[in-house]
Amino acid sequence: MLKDSFFFIQNHEQGVYRIRLNVDHDIFKGHFPENPVTPGVVMIQMLTELMNIHCEKGVRLISVSSCKFSKTLNPFEFPFVNFILKTSAADENVQVSAQVAEEDVLFCKIAAVYK
């Protein structure tokens, strides 16, 4: 849905996905002109798409137990970010604790369950 149009995976290893944001994407033109912001729901969708790759199968989001946004992600200031995933299996579900960060800047933390 967003992979290869809104964001591009530059590399990944051991649960760390280095991504590049497409600063020319239409989402940024509407959210917001002159001051682009990556919407929180878009970061959650990006996480879901990365979880599909990470789990090597299609997964769907079941619940988000916590989600904290600590800094606005402006793609012109930060065109590259890391999604850092820590997962654990629980029955048929996969729990993930994820951070979206670049060097020492933390944009968001998400704890979610996928099936």
Using a pLDDT cut of 90, give the percent of the chain over it: 91
At residue 28, φ and ψ (nearest 5 deg) are -75, -25
Give all strands (DSSP E) within the chain, no chain letters.
7-13, 16-21, 61-69, 80-90, 93-102, 105-114
Give the global pTM: 0.95
pLDDT digits (tens, 9 = 90+) for 49-67: 999 999 999 999 999 999 9
Domain positions in the chain are 7-114
Q: Kindly report, residue by residue over 10-39, the tens digit of the pLDDT.
A: 999 999 999 999 999 999 988 887 889 999
CATH of domain 7-114: 3.10.129.10
